[in-house]
Amino acid sequence: MTGPELAEAGRLLAAATRPVVFTGAGMSAESGVPTFRDARTGLWQRYDPAELATPAAFRADPALVWGWYEGRRHGVRRAEPNAGHRAVAAIQARLPETVVITQNVDDLHERGGAAAPVRLHGSLFAPRCAACDHPAPLPDDTPEPPAGRLDPPACARCAAPVRPGVVWFGEALPEAALAAAVEAAARCDLLLTVGTSALVHPAAEVPLVAARLGAPVVQVNPVETPLDAVCAVNLRGPAGEVLPALVRAAWPGDVGR
């Protein structure tokens, strides 16, 4: 990727001191982690993810939902951070006040070198009791992903089923994470939104907070999204290619360092 858009985005990044990097499933697509829209294979492909990712689905069929999440966790463990994740870490290394805010439940930002992303929708690696919230140990890894339903483990404290540590539709986001995200977006001098369709709320409002307060918003996405209108620059391409090019455009001197 070259051209005036990249040069302009590079200029905005080089001028920033406290950027926000806001990411969605597209950030991990090139690592082989399916985006939310196409996150279902096998038994689960006949279910709408927004249906599966709900407390009601877990109550109705805990083994179906637990199996789905264990399959996703299995996949993420076998995935590697991509050049996009590493570029985000490079931005943070260059600008220590960078705040990474993610909707993703994978751990690829951390494995890509980014420090403490703000997790709006939880993590696949933080199971807890569905009744008493007692943290539960991660089940051992298995050579093969679960082929179908898988009974969730029982809570060590109250024996209720253990659930994935993610935020389901209809559930409130973790207050501290949402507050940190809104605060970072309100004080940022650039917001980079990467690989999100910006359809799920309240997360989708984070880039709008930055735009409303006058910070330039730069979008990285191969296709148009509802955020296009508020963006100073739209970089149409995959994160794993565009983000390294953006870092090179911002800090040409760093190439090869």
Indicate whether 85 belongs to the interface with ligand BV8 (CB under 6 A): no
Q: Which listed option, Zn ion, ligand BV8, none, makes contact with residue 112 (CB within 5 to 8 Å by class)?
A: none
Structure token digits, residue 180: 């940190």
Indicate whether 158 belongs to the interface with Zn ion (CB under 5 A): yes
Among 25, 52, 108, 129, binds Zn ion (CB under 5 A): 129
Q: Which listed option, Zn ion, ligand BV8, none, makes contact with residue 223 (CB within 5 to 8 Å by class)?
A: ligand BV8
Per the residue annotation, which of 74, 109, 121, 134 is the catalytic one? Answer: 121
Q: Which listed option, ligand BV8, Zn ion, none, makes contact with residue 239 (CB within 5 to 8 Å by class)?
A: ligand BV8
Interacting span for ligand BV8 (CB under 6 A) from 111-119, 127-135, 148-156, 195-203: 195-203
Q: What angle do CA 18, 192, 217 make, to 5 degrees?
A: 95
Measured between alpha carbons, how far is 162 from 135 in angstroms, rounded to an integer? 9
Least Cβ distance, residue 191 to ligand BV8 (angstroms): 15
Measured between alpha carbons, how far is 143 from 178 in angstroms, rounded to an integer? 36
Measured between alpha carbons, how far is 117 from 126 in angstroms, rounded to an integer? 15
Nearer to ligand BV8, 92 or 168 (CB): 168
Q: Which listed option, Zn ion, ligand BV8, none, makes contact with residue 47 (CB within 5 to 8 Å by class)?
A: none
Indicate whether 116 belongs to the interface with ligand BV8 (CB under 6 A): no
Measured between alpha carbons, how far is 61 from 64 in angstroms, rounded to an integer? 5
Catalytic: 121?
yes
**Packing angle of the helix pair 239-250, 83-94 (nearest 10 deg):** 30
Q: Which listed option, ligand BV8, Zn ion, none, makes contact with residue 59 (CB within 5 to 8 Å by class)?
A: none
Task: Round the CA-based radius of gyration of the chain to a whole number and report it.
Answer: 19
Residues 6+ apart with CB under 8 A from 253: none
Structure token digits, residue 51: 């249906």
Number of residues engaging ligand BV8 in binding (CB under 6 A)? 35
Site for ligand BV8 in 20-59 (CB under 6 A): 24-26, 29-30, 35-37, 50, 53
Residue 212 φ then ψ, to 5°: -60, -30
SS3 165: coil
Residues 6+ apart with CB under 8 A from 72: 33, 39, 105, 124
Measured between alpha carbons, how far is 76 from 138 in angstroms, rounded to an integer? 14
Q: Which of 162, 176, 75, 71 is nearest to 116 (CA)?
A: 176
Show the binding pattern over residues 89-108: x = contacts ligand BV8 (CB under 6 A), - = does not.
--------------x-x---
Least Cβ distance, residue 119 to ligand BV8 (angstroms): 10
Indicate whether 157 belongs to the interface with Zn ion (CB under 5 A): yes
Measured between alpha carbons, how far is 191 from 177 in angstroms, rounded to an integer? 17
Least Cβ distance, residue 160 to ligand BV8 (angstroms): 20
Q: Which residues are catalytic?
A: 121
- Which residues are near ligand BV8 by CB under 6 A? 24-26, 29-30, 35-37, 50, 53, 103, 105, 121, 166-172, 195-197, 199-203, 220-223, 225, 238-239
